[in-house]
A and B are shown apart, each in its own frame.
Chain A
Amino acid sequence: MKYDVVIAGGGLAGLMSGIALAREGRSVAIISFGDSALHFSSGSLEMWNDAEGALNSVAANHPYAIVGTQHLDRYSRITKDIFASAGEQLKGEYGCNHLRISPVGVLKPAWLTFDDYFVFDPKMTDGGGVVVVGIDGYLDFYPDFIADGLRRKGVECDVASVSLPELERLRESATEMRSVGISRLLKGDAVERLAHQMAPLVHGAQMVIMPAVFGLGDVDGRQRIERVVGCPVRVAPTASISVAGVRAQKKLVEEFRGLGGTYILGDKVVSCRIEDGRVVGVRSHNHGDVEFVAKDFILAMGSFFSRGLVATPEEIYEPTFGAAVVCAEKREAWCAERILEAQPFQRYGVRVDGNLRVEIDGSVVENLYAVGSIVAGADAVKEGCGAGVVVATALMAAEQILGKELDVKEMN
């Protein structure tokens, strides 16, 4: 099978590269083994956890230094535009981080956030009460923690709880009182009944915060509740699966397919054929001797969670292409003793050159680019730069392949 570009890995990184290339008319195939880390999104694409500074002084081997921080503003606009065409609005912009709230009520800086998520606004301190509404028996959302977090910021805050017979039924199964199960049931008349139950509990509030369970039932569930209760309803992240992340993954895949892209899920790239310093084709588990041939290839297989990187007691390696990785040789050096300290392994990943190209058997492969969380050098947890590094590298690789800068569509 012949394409212009073949991408291994279909998470945020693979999809952003794929959509950017398909928008420019390239024929692109994405092969992805399983579903991605987007399924655990906090609702925010994090770029850098220190609002103002430090970005310009990142270490020389940090992915942001390779991409060039001067491009980040542009990449953030393109990201918003790609999400918007897929039907998912993001709020926020480069250079002015806002505060999102974590499932345990900690306010954290973020860069771009899904439109329906709560972000802190200093004006809230004198705007009346906020009510955090939980769902009876749903254990992945902690209204009290969220309320405490907001009170620490000086916001008056209450908690309340609601329920519906159909949601109660979910509790019959040991495992299904989860965000996804709840989300599926929030449709039609159930939304109205929930809203009317909430209305007296949140009367006079300036804002209601609910768990992020909207997106797999009726698309306008949250807005309908807003109309009944008469004030803005925002959501806060839940533990376990992120409904907004699932929603975004589905929409981005649809957008990619709509642009003519081929998205293959549940298949694994298993080997590549290199001739004269270039990858000529890759093979997958399901397609056997039918090779995926392309001019350029992108490696977007994620980090340890997605098995783009594998750690054994002896070594850390990239199992698919055998690309060179950056990591300490001695195993003792991989981890810090205390779990909350910066963990060295977070920065391990595939080594890239100034054009994001990877190295195999000691030489740089001309047409194989690495993007996303598999790229070495960033500590997504400590620096709060998970998705930022992903979209920046993904869009840069697309530009390398296209040989030109991507257009920025001005929005609003």
Chain B
Amino acid sequence: MKKYEDSNVSANNFDQCTKCTICTVYCPMLEVNPLYPGPKQSGPDGERYRLKEPKYYDMGLKYCLNCKRCEVACPSGVRIGDIIALAKAKNGRKVPKLRDVMLANTDFVGSVATVVAPVVNTTLGLRPVKRVMDATMAIDHRRTFPKYASEKFTTWFRRNMAESQKEFAKQVCYFHGCYANYNYPQLGKDLVKVLNAVGYGVRLMEGERCCGVAKIASGLIGDATRDARRNLSEMRKAVAEGMEIVATSSSCTFTLRDEYDHVLGLENGDVRDSVSLATRFLFRLVESGEIRLAFREDFRMRAAYHSACHIEKLGWGIYSTSLLKMIPGMELIMLPSQCCGIAGTFGFKKENYDYSQAIGRPLFDRIEELGVEIVATDCETCKWQIEMSTSAKVLNPISILAEAIDVEKTRELNNVIDL
């Protein structure tokens, strides 16, 4: 017999809302901005009106960070953030500003910037340029910009690595995302180092596109959908070859797994379970005894772990922290779970800068209070925000692992033969 609740579903569970208001307790934007209508009002409540008449759309929805902390707290499974993201895409400003398009097109802007990296980096850092960007594009001049690398990760990989990777008996597909490709190729190199040491060769997709997280947040749904279709077809190929797909960014992982289906309405059920965060992939292999890790005896680090919003939503912070805790020289402190305020490209926009910093303030204070030099987090935009707002250096857990492992010993433990 068909179950009653199977025939009683609404988009993103909006009719499941019991009006309990629990979500409003945990929304970071509401904490600092009384002009924001809040998750309940912007999400399920507002949706009832918008369904009747789009004119009920409230411009205040632009403040939503898409951090999903409301969804994590909701006892009724309402996908509040998804409802808001879709409403923004449907009813928000029709023609996005040039600035929003630029900030959202992390791949296009990245590929141009990499070519002229030294120029871009100095120019973006110059005070007068920042002022001009502030005045003409409303990108806040107080922001420090992520640096662009002079050689893309993919270029480095194809030049130096692609051939040797084929020698490994076991293969895994790496979804590097825009950040590892354009801003911080070292992260990709670190992942290759760790995976190779435990006997996995790394493969890239043909023509990987941006996962789309920033485009979705800016309401550029059409562009995001195009990229997503391409990525999905590449992911299917990888899965057909028996590979898992790993990413080093929690936001990419989350977008590929959940937003493609919930926000873009694309069927991804056939590949969803094959997409993993690199730390989860490694943890599972360690736990099942399939691989073993050996660590450098002289490695010492005192680090604090920051649980990024999308890792919180995925619930996967535990894999990163469990791996870090395996390192004998590591003292790992857990930071209170809260939003750092950047929320992807949100904090770059001039009108949001003050909210962004106010949201993150308690976190920054805690980091300074602990006096840690290293903060570990799985999200690249959190890295920008925390590095700009505190004296700590921020590393992805994979980069810390890469530094901590004893490559020779690890290879021996995993019977990796010299290539």
CB distance from B414 to the nearest CB of A (A): 21
CB distance from A123 to the nearest CB of B (A): 37
CB distance from A267 to the nearest CB of B (A): 4
Q: Is A36 touching B75 in the complex (CB atoms < 8 A)?
A: yes
Interface of chain B residues 308 through 322 with chain A (CB within 8 A): 312-316, 318
Q: Judge whether B391 is part of the interface by a CB distance below 8 angstroms.
A: no
Q: Judge whether B41 is part of the interface by a CB distance below 8 angstroms.
A: yes
How far is B35's CA from A245's CA once the two chains are assembled, in angstroms? 26
Interface of chain A residues 263 through 317 with chain B (CB within 8 A): 264-268, 284, 286-290, 305-307, 310, 312-314
Q: Judge whether B118 is part of the interface by a CB distance below 8 angstroms.
A: no
Q: Is B75 touching A266 in the complex (CB atoms < 8 A)?
A: no
Interface of chain A residues 22 through 38 with chain B (CB within 8 A): 33-36
Closest to A313 in B: B4
Residue from the list B31, B37, B284, B315 in contact with A267, Cβ < 8 A: B315
Q: Is B313 touching A266 in the complex (CB atoms < 8 A)?
A: yes
- Give per-residue flags for B1-20: 1 if the beta carbon is below 8 A from chain A beta carbons, else 0: 00111000000000000101
User: For A312, what are the chain B residues with a Cβ–Cβ distance below 8 Å?
Assistant: 3-5
User: For B22, what are the chain A residues with a Cβ–Cβ distance below 8 Å?
Assistant: 34-35, 39, 241
How far is B77's CA from A290's CA once the two chains are assembled, in angstroms? 22
Q: Is A181 touching B37 in the complex (CB atoms < 8 A)?
A: no
Q: Is A286 touching B315 in the complex (CB atoms < 8 A)?
A: yes
How far is B74's CA from A312's CA once the two chains are assembled, in angstroms? 21
How far is B19's CA from A292's CA once the two chains are assembled, in angstroms? 32
CB distance from A190 to the nearest CB of B (A): 14
Closest to B337 in A: A265
CB distance from A223 to the nearest CB of B (A): 22
- Give per-residue flags for B253-290: 1 if the beta carbon is below 8 A from chain A beta carbons, else 0: 00000000000000000000100000010001001000
Q: Is B284 touching A34 in the complex (CB atoms < 8 A)?
A: no
Q: Judge whether B30 is part of the interface by a CB distance below 8 angstroms.
A: yes
Q: Is A241 touching B284 in the complex (CB atoms < 8 A)?
A: no
How far is B24's CA from A241's CA once the two chains are assembled, in angstroms? 9
User: For A181, what are the chain B residues with a Cβ–Cβ distance below 8 Å?
Assistant: 30, 34
Q: Judge whether B72 is part of the interface by a CB distance below 8 angstroms.
A: yes
Q: Is A257 touching B35 in the complex (CB atoms < 8 A)?
A: no
Q: Judge whether A1 is part of the interface by a CB distance below 8 angstroms.
A: yes
Q: Judge whether A184 is part of the interface by a CB distance below 8 angstroms.
A: yes
CB distance from A272 to the nearest CB of B (A): 18
User: For B280, what are the chain A residues with a Cβ–Cβ distance below 8 Å?
Assistant: 290
Q: Judge whether B415 is part of the interface by a CB distance below 8 angstroms.
A: no
CB distance from A213 to the nearest CB of B (A): 13
CB distance from B285 to the nearest CB of A (A): 11
Which of A46-54, A68-76, A165-173 lines the interface with chain B? A165-173
Q: Is B74 touching A173 in the complex (CB atoms < 8 A)?
A: no
Q: Judge whether A246 is part of the interface by a CB distance below 8 angstroms.
A: yes
Q: Is B24 touching A178 in the complex (CB atoms < 8 A)?
A: yes
How far is B31's CA from A184's CA once the two chains are assembled, in angstroms? 7
Q: Judge whether A60 is part of the interface by a CB distance below 8 angstroms.
A: no
How many A residues touch B, CB cutoff 8 Å?
Answer: 41
Q: Is A265 touching B72 in the complex (CB atoms < 8 A)?
A: yes
Closest to A284 in B: B315
User: For B77, what are the chain A residues with a Cβ–Cβ distance below 8 Å?
Assistant: 33-34, 268, 307
Q: Is B72 touching A266 in the complex (CB atoms < 8 A)?
A: yes
Q: Is B284 touching A173 in the complex (CB atoms < 8 A)?
A: no
**Chain B interface residue number, banded:** 35 or more
- Give per-residue flags for A222-237: 1 if the beta carbon is below 8 A from chain B beta carbons, else 0: 0000000000000000
Q: Is A290 touching B35 in the complex (CB atoms < 8 A)?
A: no
Closest to B78 in A: A34
Please judge, given known A-B contacts A266-B313, A267-B315, A312-B5, whether A306 and B37 are in contact too, CB under 8 Å. Answer: no
User: For A305, what are the chain B residues with a Cβ–Cβ distance below 8 Å?
Assistant: 18, 20, 75
How far is B411's CA from A237's CA once the two chains are assembled, in angstroms? 62
User: For A267, what are the chain B residues with a Cβ–Cβ distance below 8 Å?
Assistant: 315
Interface of chain B residues 12 through 63 with chain A (CB within 8 A): 18, 20-22, 24-26, 30-31, 34-38, 40-41
Q: Judge whether A212 is part of the interface by a CB distance below 8 angstroms.
A: no
Closest to A310 in B: B5
Interface of chain A residues 107 through 122 with chain B (CB within 8 A): none
Q: Is A265 touching B318 in the complex (CB atoms < 8 A)?
A: no
Closest to B336 in A: A254
User: For B400, what are the chain A residues with a Cβ–Cβ distance below 8 Å?
Assistant: none
Q: Judge whether B82 is part of the interface by a CB distance below 8 angstroms.
A: no
Q: Judge whether A197 is part of the interface by a CB distance below 8 angstroms.
A: no
Q: Judge whether B76 is part of the interface by a CB distance below 8 angstroms.
A: yes
CB distance from B34 to the nearest CB of A (A): 5
User: For B5, what are the chain A residues with a Cβ–Cβ distance below 8 Å?
Assistant: 310, 312
Closest to B31 in A: A184
User: For B273, what are the chain A residues with a Cβ–Cβ distance below 8 Å?
Assistant: 288-289
User: For B326, what are the chain A residues with a Cβ–Cβ distance below 8 Å?
Assistant: none
How far is B23's CA from A35's CA once the two chains are assembled, in angstroms? 9
Q: Is B75 touching A34 in the complex (CB atoms < 8 A)?
A: yes
Closest to A287 in B: B315
Q: Judge whether A136 is part of the interface by a CB distance below 8 angstroms.
A: no
Q: Judge whether A352 is part of the interface by a CB distance below 8 angstroms.
A: no
CB distance from B230 to the nearest CB of A (A): 25
Residue from the list B21, B287, B313, B334 in contact with A178, Cβ < 8 A: B21
Of the A-B pairs whose beta carbons lie under 8 Å apart in the complex, a sample of 30, sorted by A's number, is A34-B72, A34-B77, A35-B25, A36-B75, A39-B20, A39-B25, A40-B20, A174-B37, A175-B37, A175-B38, A175-B40, A176-B30, A181-B34, A184-B31, A241-B22, A241-B25, A264-B318, A265-B312, A266-B312, A284-B315, A287-B316, A288-B273, A290-B287, A305-B18, A305-B20, A305-B75, A307-B75, A312-B3, A312-B4, A312-B5
**Other CB < 8 Å A-B pairs besides A241-B25, A266-B315, 5 of them?**
A34-B75, A284-B315, A286-B316, A290-B287, A305-B18
